[in-house]
Structure 1
């Protein structure tokens, strides 16, 4: 009997073990602790959060990402770490919009037909390129030849102080000059780089136009552009920074105006005019059987103490425009205007500025009693100047922080200013050089490489992450639909730091891969160079020419995930899934 009982017990034990193994195989809830920086027990599956109103339709084009393992070089990993990043695969902060990586085209920096430039923009994959420019949009006439202008515009516009501007010039879309891009080449650039567009129509014309009905005339002109666009462009906006005294139409000569407009613009006036534009443009889109989205210009921060026209801009705009806009447009240059800012000041601004910006827009909308709409940050950069900050690697580090904060704060559309600009001794926002002494046009500047690797190594969802042991290390974690997890690490300090990474609710695979970006030694704190895994540029500007095929560093997860983050450096890391 004892033998029989023991046999039965053995059989039952085997059945229980077999059942447990089958359950483990199905749910993967019993895992041996391998000390590799991942989960060691049951995990919680991730759940996507709802789409925030600030994101809205900008997430409609979201695309699942599959991580492709790059060529690798095995490297030894550091063993000592006083900083720990914990990333939770189950806690999804937001899906990552492919509309977040956009850029702006400047119309006075060539026809954008240079093969090397087109290849680099394609590799960068901005996905969306804004045109025809910033403030130039309010003096731009898309269907006129070079030097052309409508008969109903003044020879000279007014400056902010009311004096005539002898430098008044109007921009044309049908240019053939090598130094300026035609509208047709803009459309061609979009096609070549697999991008879509966002177009800013000329609102200033509604203010300075000399016809009997300048608002209707300008709105009709914008509508004609929509018709001629033939459905290629979904995103449109009316005017550029129209609250600013630097903008065409901010101040007009009332003696020449024929519809009783005030000398200085107000938010209420712009909001009223916006509805006229939106109605005309939507009618044009309907006529050709397409659907478009139209954005309205708001301020990015408290406007109660702005210049005369900008005072209480948002409240005036929103009360007049009501539900007419499809999205809200803001611009932000983060750092104090024309201040010779230190790296510490520059790198502190993304977290200090982004959340208040989103809050300001949302609060403005709430106070106006209108519906919340998605937010588009379609110009952003830094204003810091005096030490070549804008063309330095610090600008690239800043760009990584901005993208991370935008995703965290649920903004899903952004366009950096801009692809190319000019020399100006380092006070140049261009991602590529243009007319910079001693450097070939369209050489990628450091920020290019930071933006390239961010998009390459950041997944399609941001997951939550925390940092312990340092206030100088910033982390943004992500996951790929294909199953991998990643962390982008930024070191804002002037000292190298070693960081350990632990993943919650994630079973790590055998290896992790990463690229380390750091600045050069030229120009003090603001090097114009960047090295990627210790590979630098051949010249004095930018980074390695072979960035697209550069091998990633690779280490095994056994014993933990640890990396060194250089002083003011960035590490883009992805870990294998089990």
Structure 2
């Protein structure tokens, strides 16, 4: 995203009086049912999970006060030199031609702040106006000369914004601005930089699912940005870089598909060994000042997004920005929003001095969101599934190595205190009041108390609440968790799941249990004494996420294995086959062509059915058939000219599909009620 827009973006004051809901609300509202399932494990919390961006136009980048604030928030990754400035910045003389470089923002000052914060550094090498040799010299200065041990190095920032797709905000001096040229340079940068320090990790820029210019193929290109970059540079990179500015506070539901589609692209275009490639979200902010993205509503969305992204395996989420500057001033939920995308106040005023931000480094609401997430989910904890039956309340949970369980509850209602009734599966909390961490609208700190119970709490309006629970029985002597499962021999109805054996505890392991995640509910698929199990009776074209748990001779259960996600196919042979081809895509819609082939007896009329995988997808129009949509179900009935299909005959129909989130394509088609082979 252009830095010129972001520096004119949003935030708010957090030093005003907190709002509290009338106590009567809790008595008048039906309790929200919360389900926490310790058997349904997700990703392990990474050391680098909670991050933020620094920028060389921020003179407070390296101060002790800034570093100490970030440390208190639990920030473990700091990115430098700052968004689009990365592609004009020259580290050796600390200049950025065409941009402003503030005093006391050089690389050594940045690294001093990183060390005081207790974080790691994410450094963006200059692709736009720099060279591979310049980047390699930076690695030498950082890790050989200075001994900083900087592990993570990006090659450029948002380089698809160089004008190749029509919009240009990113500096790029290369005559060829195609994704292929970027990818070739990533290879050159990686070779030069790793020749200096082979231990570093190199990241390449990708587009984010359903965010421009994702899925667009520009003139002269053989594929999309992601396909081209991964196909050429994949063998040389260690992680990919995505940025996400959803522009609204209710987009967390997009996260699992954003991550899954990115992983699918990595696997498809990189091939063997692609599972080594991580995903980093090195810029993130919840929206714009118009929806209060930096007052409490934005803070709640931030906590929800951080937890969801990390639970889905993103290894760092880096907030834009530590300091950003005042923008449009508004009132949101009873508090002043200063139009500042920062975590901390810059202490500046509007151009006419009519409104000033609070004192420098005063935390804004998202700061407390990051602080809450860092206290809820610590490095080494394992996220587990949690869900609620109330749209205004979201839930996350993480299991700790010592057996404790943390549950984070988010109430986005402006005026309702929600009582919650929490049910636990695969975990028995100790009796008594848990430790409760709370942050409410306008509060200037997270409060700690001991109130309610493990199963019953009341959530104030616009609040973050985290419960820290202890297990009812000691967790010693239990088996270790099984290793990462893998899937093989996947068909439309079956898959063989295998996993590394768990280490036994004080008693021998007697069996392994395989569970499917169905939301926050675990469905047992089977059990075995071995380390492999074939699951049958699966549904075609369906995404499954499973975990394995070890059980010992005394009934003791291990932690759940890391999750495995796989997708079943369609029949290898059928009386019909279908091929869906995307003809053109503009990142919010596409033209699709469906080739239908009749492999069976001749038909004199046909109906093709499929369903949209996601609620944000819809039918725009269609041709060569009579198209209708009912809910998520789409039906295409032959028109007068293509109803007769002899054995081996084909016909092609087309449609416009609209989408406002990650575009997961339909995978299962039926012709006259028969599931077709999808080619």
What TM-score, normalized by structure 1, do the two folds share?
A: 0.66
Counterpart position of 1:451: 370
Deviation at 1:567, TM superposition (A): 2.9
- Pair 1:330-2:242 in alignment: yes
Instruction: Please say if residues 244 and 309 of structure 1, whose CA atoms lie closer than 8 Å, have aligned partners that are also in contact.
Output: no
Change (3 A) 1:567 1:170: closer
Give me the whole-angstrom Cα distance separating, in 2, the residues matched to 1:314 and 1:279.
21
What CA distance in whole angstroms lies between the structure 2 residues aligned with 1:292 and 1:405? 27
Structure 2: distance between partners of 1:97 and 1:320: 28
Q: Partner of 1:365 in structure 2? A: 266
The 8 Å contact of residues 127 and 156 in structure 2, kept in 1 or not, is answered as yes
8 A Cα contact 1:140 1:171, kept in partner = no
Counterpart of 1:508 (choices 426, 429, 436) is 429
The answer as to 2:468 corresponding to 1:574 is yes
> Contact between 2:279 and 2:313, CA under 8 Å: does it hold in 1?
no
Query: How far apart are 1:507 and its partner, in Å?
Result: 2.9
**SS of corresponding position for 1:421:** coil
Task: Give the match's secondary structure for 1:501.
Answer: strand
What CA RMSD, in Å, does the superposition of the two structures yield over aligned residues? 2.8
Q: Which runs of 5+ in 2 are unaligned?
A: 1-22, 163-167, 329-337, 350-355, 473-679
**Separation of aligned partners in 1, 2:54 and 2:462:** 29
Q: 1:309 to 1:204 in 2, by over 3 A?
A: farther
For the residues of structure 1 that align with 2:45 and 2:149, how far apart are their CA atoms? 24
Within the alignment, does 1:305 sit opposite 2:216 as a pair?
yes
Partner Cα separation in structure 2 for residue 397 and residue 414 of structure 1: 15
| Counterpart selection for 2:287 from 383, 392, 405 | 383
**Which protein has the bigger strand share?**
2
Between the aligned partners of 2:38 and 2:132, the Cα distance in structure 1 is 53
Q: What is the deviation of 1:514? A: 1.3
Pairing 1:351–2:262 present: no
Find the counterpart in structure 1 of residue 300 from structure 2: 397
2 CA distance for matches of 1:481 and 1:187?
Answer: 31
8 Å Cα contact 2:202/2:238 also seen in 1 = yes
C-alpha distance in structure 1 between counterparts of 2:249 and 2:99, whole Å: 37
Post-superposition Cα deviations, 1:66-106, rounded to whole Å, max 9, x if no partner, equal xxxxxxxxx9x967752221212343222111211111112
Aligned-partner Cα distance in 1 for 2:217–2:161: 9
Equivalent pair of 1:511/1:576 in contact (CA under 8 Å)? no
Cα-to-partner distance string for 1:194-218 (whole Å, 9 max, x where unaligned): 1111111111124xxxxxxxx5554
Aligned partner of residue 511 in structure 1, secondary structure = coil
Measured in 2, the distance between the counterparts of 1:476 and 1:568 equals: 16
Question: Within 2, Cα distance between the matches of 1:117 and 1:223?
Answer: 25
Higher relative contact order (CA 8 A, sep 6+): 1
Change (3 A) 1:393 1:328: same
Deviation at 1:565, TM superposition (A): 1.6
Kept in 2, the 8 Å contact 1:219–1:276? The answer is: no
Q: Secondary structure at the match of 1:198?
A: strand
Q: How does 1:61-80 map to 2 (within 5 A)?
A: none
Distance in 2, Cα, partners of 1:444 & 1:430: 9
- 2:290 is paired with a residue whose SS is coil
Residues 88-127 of structure 1: matches in 2 within 5 Å? Answer: 88-127=37-76
Asked if 2 retains the 8 angstrom alpha-carbon contact of 1:78 and 1:563, the reply is no
8 Å CA contact 2:48–2:120 kept in 1: the answer is: no
Counterpart of 2:479 in structure 1 is none
> Are 2:182 and 1:270 aligned?
yes
Alignment deviations for residues 217-253 of structure 1 (CA, whole Å, 9 cap, x no partner): 5455445445445352111111111111344434x4x
- How far off is 1:306 after superposition? 7.4
Residue in structure 2 matched with residue 185 of structure 1 by the alignment? 109
- Compute the displacement of 1:110 (Å): 1.6
> How do 1:209-248 and structure 2 match up within 5 A?
215=131, 217-226=133-142, 227-245=144-162, 246-248=168-170
Shift of 1:366: 3.7
Q: Report what 2:459 is aligned to.
A: 565
Q: 1:466 aligns with which of 387, 399, 423?
A: 387
- Quote how far apart the aligned CAs of 1:477 are: 1.2
Between the two proteins, the alignment pairs up a number of residues equal to 416
Q: Secondary structure at the match of 2:293?
A: helix
User: 2 CA distance for matches of 1:304 and 1:466?
Assistant: 32
Is 1:514–1:572's contact at 8 Å kept on the other side of the alignment?
A: yes
Q: 8 Å contact 1:118–1:192 — kept in the other structure?
A: yes
